[in-house]
Structures are given as structure tokens and as C-alpha cells.
A and B are shown apart, each in its own frame.
Chain A
Amino acid sequence: DADVTQTPRNRITKTGKRIMLECSQTKGHDRMYWYRQDPGLGLRLIYYSFDVKDINKGEISDGYSVSRQAQAKFSLSLESAIPNQTALYFCATSETGTTDNEQFFGPGTRLTVL
């Protein structure tokens, strides 16, 4: 079974709808991250969390919110989706106490906002 899972894997929605993307991990890592990938722009950090009570904005947090419900779960919400939020979204985890910040990625969620 995959260590980092994301649901849904694909989602098509309409402008103005509220959308939640979920991430779960069985790696026991404290740190979790949400990225979005756009063609030609690589991966950009949206939010990250170093433990259950810690939430931090990343490079492009506007229009998004997150919830860290438990060590293993980190959800990303789009309160009112807009077309330019169409992208591939990745969740990642890493272990506290390491120095190299190796991150382990989920399979991605492809979101289309019409």
C-alpha cells in the first residue's frame, strides 16, 4: 500500500464551489506539505505543517486553506474555486529530525475548475 495517499485523484468542479483535497500518510512523519504544479512552473509550495498544531503559509497560499486533523491527515481546501486554480496538486511528508528534508510525495490530485 502507498505510504502517502491523496483523494480524490481527479476532480472536475465549477467556479465558486468549495473543494477539499485530502492527504493521508502511514509513514509516521510529523511534517506535511501541499504543492501545486503548473506547466512550466514546477512545484510551488502552498502550505506546510510541522506538527498537528503548526500551520504555515507557503509561496502561494492565497485562495487556499488547510487543516491538520491529525498527524496522518492534512487537507487542502479551496473555499471558492476559480479557473486559475486548475492544476496538479501534490501532498508530501518528511521526517522531523533529519537534516536533508527528503520529502515523500503522494500520487497527485488533478483538479479542473470550469
Chain B
Amino acid sequence: AQKVTQAQTEISVVEKEDVTLDCVYETRDTTYYLFWYKQPPSGELVFLIRRNSFDEQNEISGRYSWNFQKSTSSFNFTITASQVVDSAVYFCALSEAANFGNEKLTFGTGTRLTIIP
């Protein structure tokens, strides 16, 4: 069975500091997909990134970067030079390959990030 662990329940950092959110996953599939979503205080879920299991290249998008390491089953998310607008709950999620009847998304419990001005 697939599982996603976000061990950091809450993190607080001072504005402009860098912060890394950890995500560790478990799956028996060799083909799978990993996601990060942001949930700001308004409550909606905002898609941030998707990564498939065959692509271990790290990705950078502005102040956001993602480090995917299959060897440690981790897909960590780093925010550089954090801003108050980054304050939100962040979810990591896993989807195993779209075999019939198995296309479910499993979420971690989320990390609440607070950026202190």
C-alpha cells in the first residue's frame, strides 16, 4: 500500500530565511507520481508540481525547488528567501501508475508553514 509521510507538522521561520519541507513516500510500484500542493489560509488547494518516478532531475521554479531522491524515497520542497505569502499548509501526495482500479492519490498529513515578518 502506498503511504506518504510528512514528519514536520509545523514549521516557523523568519521572513527571507530558506526552509525545506520534507516528504517521504512508500510504494511498491516502479512507476509512480509525486505531487506538492499548497493550501493557503483561504482553504483552496493550489497545485505546485508533479514529478514522475523516472525523472530524478531536481526542479527550480523561482524561489521554489524540489529535490527528488529515489534512493531515500524522498521528494523534498525548498522555499528560498521565504515571504509572508508563503505561509500555508503544504501537502505532498503520491499516485501509483494508472493501472486499472489503482489510480488513487494518497496525501501526507501536511506541514503548516508560518513565515514570521
Contacts and interface: CB of A to CB of B under 8 A. Distances in A.
Interface of A: 31, 33, 40-45, 48, 58, 88, 90, 92, 94, 98-105, 107-108, 110
24 contacts: A33-B105, A40-B9, A40-B110, A41-B109, A42-B6, A42-B107, A42-B108, A42-B110, A48-B104, A92-B105, A94-B103, A99-B98, A100-B50, A101-B33, A101-B95, A101-B98, A101-B103, A101-B105, A102-B50, A103-B105, A104-B47, A105-B44, A105-B45, A108-B43
Given A31-B103, A42-B91, A94-B103, A102 B108 contact: no
Nearest to A94: B103
Contacts of A33: 105
Contacts of B6: 42
- The secondary structure that dominates the B interface is loop
Contacts of B31: 99
B97 interface: yes
Contact of B98 (A58, A90, A92, A100): A100
Size category of the binding interface on chain B? 20 to 34
A100 B33 contact: yes
A58 B106 CA distance: 11
Interface in B92-116: 95, 97-98, 103-105, 107-110
B33 to A, nearest CB: 4
B20 interface: no
A62 B92 CA distance: 25
Nearest to A108: B43
A89 to B, nearest CB: 11
B52 interface: yes
Contact of A42 (B43, B97, B109): B109
A108 B44 contact: yes
